[in-house]
Chains A and B, each alone.
Chain A
Amino acid sequence: MGNKKSKVLLIGWDAADWKIIDKLMANGLMPAMKSLVDNGVRGKLATLDPPLSPMLWTSMATGVRPYRHGVIGFVEHDGKGGVRSVSSHYRKVKAFWNMMTMEGYKSNVIAWWPSNPVESINGCMVSNLFQQEKKGRETMDLDNWEIPEGTIYPESLKEQLMELRVHPHEITGNLVMPFVPQAVALDKKKDKRLTVISKFIAHATTVHAACTELMETQEWDLTAVYHDAIDHFSHGFMKFHPPMMPNRDKEEYELFKDVVIGAYVFHDMMLDRLLKMIDDDTTVIIVSDHGFHSDHLRPLHIPKVPSGPAIEHAPYGIFVAKGPGIKKGERIHGASVLDVTPTLLTLFDLPVGRDMDGKPLVNIFDHPKSVRYIDSWENVDKPGGELVSVSEESLEATNEAALQQLVDLGYIDEMKLEDSNEDHQEYLKGIIKENQFYLAKSYISGGKHEEAIEILLEIEDKSNPDFRFLIDIINSAIKTKRYPLAKEYLSYVRKNELMSEAYMDTLDAKIALGLNDGETALQMLKSAIKSKPDAIEILIELGRLFNSLRELTKARDCFLKVIDKDPDNAHAYHGAGVSFLREENYEDALDYFFQAVEKMHHYPMAHFHIGETLALMKEYQAALASFELALTMKPDLPKTYRWLIDLNEILENQKAAEFYKTKLNSKIVDEKVIITGLPGEKLMSVINFLREKGFVIKGDPINEAQWANPLNNDILEGVEEHICYLPENMIQNLLAKYDCRFVVVNDEAENVSEFIHSQARMKKLSFNADLIDGLIKMDKTARIWLGQQPNLDLFYVNNLDESKSELLISFVKN
């Protein structure tokens, strides 16, 4: 096609992060980026776990998770008993350049990681190894700088692009000075860091030169270019970025504090050139695969494990889009690296694969955009480009150079030439095992814990324990409710002291919660927090538990402590919001929930709670929108349907209410409303109120129901009433076959004591003071259990005022 009006320029900046960009834009140091942001949309791009670039950029290029696209880790098996740097060979699904080729669009694809060897697409492709100056382990001289086979398609472009390469040896002091103003004071030969900077500048320049050359000389509909330099500069020098980290040498800090800023500014300068090469009909998109910690969250030490440097990665990359039909000056939320290819396809009016894990970002458009779908691009029988063939010798030399680069970056361990064959085999085994671990992580990230456990149990070796594998086995076992497995591994970890006591206590607490043992969980978390008072994960768990116990101030303290330490922690904002909501402080609750979804848009429970808060504030229309959004993110939550039914009925949208009723009925087998709480006047008044309104309720605290089978597992067996009162000690025994909604009445111990006293007097029974303690304990256990069941539909009643009464009726009616 080539002459179509709309073009797309997709720019990838590995590890680019808004925290740095925003500061530089504010200081006028990234004007090109600012012009895009001002005239387009911006957002955060959620990364995937593990945040390893070749996996992420392949997810970006395919719209699917790593366990489906097959590119795992930094290295892969070469099929001959060895390993090689990740390549195009292992990608199992089509990338966007294949889809574009199938549909007759022309693409330039430059340096995408991984894209070696290149593919015979409709257009031009330059692989991620094109800029490499190494052959095997040797650095080629400028005069003798060969170009590896398989790095350029079509081959006829070789001469034209070769001359645009910049060799690290060509990088002069002039060029390094903007990064290290005092470079002259350093001896380049002695301080390897200047050599490293020269290499990054040379590689970035080469990629940019190839990109501009292809944009200028070739016909194209899509140009996609990937730069790794920001990631590399950040791994090397973020530790010197201001403010100075506590464990840094002042002299070194002064020397290298401008390097990261220099890298971003240089990228903006390159961006400026690209923007000048395109017209207003071209859509520009800039993405990064993850962010990079640049503040107090920078780790003080890099763990000595493979891919250890990835600990510096932050969970959100950047997304910017500007072009015809795209909103201006707005922020979008909820984007993920998986959404890049579906969005690209939508920009070209090409169909999105229903089998893709990502979605088109339709919220970037200023007018509703229709999206076309097909089942899968894998079923499209059209040529999309084949891998070019490369000689064994060339492949080996290129591969060795690429592996060395990964060693230099600290992503894989070095294998020394003098290693014995046995060592070599061990090294290879280690690398393959590591890849299996990343595959398991990818399954976990996609919510597929069973698949992850299977892999982890296979690679886990008790004679050589790796705490990373063990943590994931335990966590996935908890997620899948395989508590004996979780316990088995945790006791092994405890016995061998493989983790900190605090972390082990936290895992024990999670298991206890899963087993409804709230007391133990609380005890464990309290012990964990004592030894690690600032540990975010422990604080979050503890805060949630306090929320369940209605110890709302304590809960809030935990969450606010997390926010103080990590102001981007969405879970902490959500938890604090829940504590306010339960206190009926709706204004503050909303404030915190909104901040939670701003930090992490794809947070169905936060949207649900926004809906709940708005409904309680009688902002029904707005509440409706929030519940609808929560439903799109988590369609299996019956309580969202119920709210949608209630609100639509209140707003007299009968059609919509019926629609959600039908949806809900298709999910439910047997439905009950359970009223529970401490037995007191408040609980009785709720039950009496409902009875006055004509509802039939089985049992109440004064006249305890005669349960058909009190000792039977199925306490509701044969119960015909839709609404039942259940004492708090019985609610945990409800079977999963019932879809239960809970009206939980909150009351104070002294009121309950008074009520029981008067009941005892009326029935002429003796009053047992221990009974109250028992009830309070039971209340605590029940609340922990309720708080840990994310799917339960809970309606808390503090006081039965007019608005609450109306909502209560709606709640029990459906």
Chain B
Amino acid sequence: MNKKQEPKEIKMNGKPFEVPPGGSLGVLALGNIGVRAWKKAKEKFEKKEVPGNGK
């Protein structure tokens, strides 16, 4: 268990929840899974934003 963990999908009312790149307190309050999911959402968003990423 000492390697990097993959982010888990966050669900709200049983449905997948798309974490906003700006984050939300509710997501941070989820602890490890929230932080990982938020960091992933940020990374995805930043990749989109940077020109030359082919997006």
Contact = CB atoms under 8 A, between A and B. Distances in A.
B54 to A, nearest CB: 23
A216 B32 contact: yes
A295 to B, nearest CB: 26
Contact of A209 (B1, B3, B23, B32): B32
A175 B24 contact: yes
Nearest to A156: B2
B31 A212 contact: yes
A159 B1 CA distance: 10
A173 B25 CA distance: 11
Contact of B25 (A159, A178, A211): A178
A27 interface: no
Interface in A268-323: 269-270, 272-274
State the majority secondary structure of interface residues on B.
loop
Contacts of B5: 160, 163, 213, 217
A746 interface: no
A164 B4 contact: no
Given A172-B22, A174-B22, A266-B29, A160 B2 contact: yes
Contacts of A132: none
A269 B28 CA distance: 9
B31 A273 contact: yes
A210 B28 CA distance: 12
B36 A175 contact: no
Contact of B3 (A159, A164, A170): A159
Given A164-B35, A212-B30, A273-B31, 15 more contacts: A160-B2, A160-B4, A163-B4, A170-B23, A172-B23, A175-B25, A178-B25, A205-B35, A211-B31, A212-B32, A269-B25, A269-B26, A270-B31, A272-B29, A273-B30
A209 B34 contact: yes
Nearest to A163: B4
A175 B35 contact: no
A363 B55 CA distance: 64
Contacts of B29: 208, 266, 269-270, 272-273
A163 B2 contact: no
Contact of A163 (B22, B25, B31, B39): B39
Nearest to A210: B32
A273 B20 CA distance: 19
B17 to A, nearest CB: 14
B40 to A, nearest CB: 11
Interface in A175-212: 175, 178, 201, 205, 208-212
A344 interface: no
Interface string A251-270: 00000000000000010011
A500 to B, nearest CB: 46
B8 to A, nearest CB: 10
A166 interface: yes
A114 B3 CA distance: 28
Interface string A379-398: 00000000000000000000
- What 9 A-B pairs have minimum CB-CB distances, sorted nearest first? A212-B31, A269-B29, A174-B22, A213-B32, A172-B22, A209-B35, A212-B32, A217-B1, A205-B28
20 contacts: A157-B2, A159-B3, A160-B1, A164-B32, A164-B36, A170-B23, A174-B22, A175-B22, A175-B23, A201-B28, A208-B31, A209-B35, A211-B31, A212-B30, A218-B1, A270-B29, A270-B31, A272-B29, A273-B29, A273-B30
Nearest to A270: B29
B38 to A, nearest CB: 8
Contacts of A201: 25, 28
B26 A213 contact: no
Interface string B12-55: 00000000101111101111111110010010000000000000
Contacts of B33: 212
Contacts of A166: 28, 35
A222 B34 CA distance: 23
Contacts of B1: 160, 217-218
A519 B24 CA distance: 66
Nearest to A172: B22
A172 B41 CA distance: 14
A218 B28 CA distance: 21
B26 A160 contact: no
B2 A159 contact: yes
Nearest to A205: B28
A301 B22 CA distance: 37
Contacts of A172: 22-23
Of listed B26, B30, B42, residue having the most chain A CB within 10 A: B30
A2 to B, nearest CB: 14
A272 B34 CA distance: 13
Contacts of B30: 212, 273
A208 B32 CA distance: 8
Contacts of B39: 163
A188 to B, nearest CB: 14
A771 to B, nearest CB: 79
Contacts of A159: 2-4
Contacts of A164: 32, 35-36
A160 B34 contact: no
B18 to A, nearest CB: 14
A173 B22 contact: yes
A261 B36 CA distance: 26
A201 B26 CA distance: 12
B5 to A, nearest CB: 7
Contacts of B22: 172-175
Contacts of A175: 22-25, 28
A336 B28 CA distance: 32
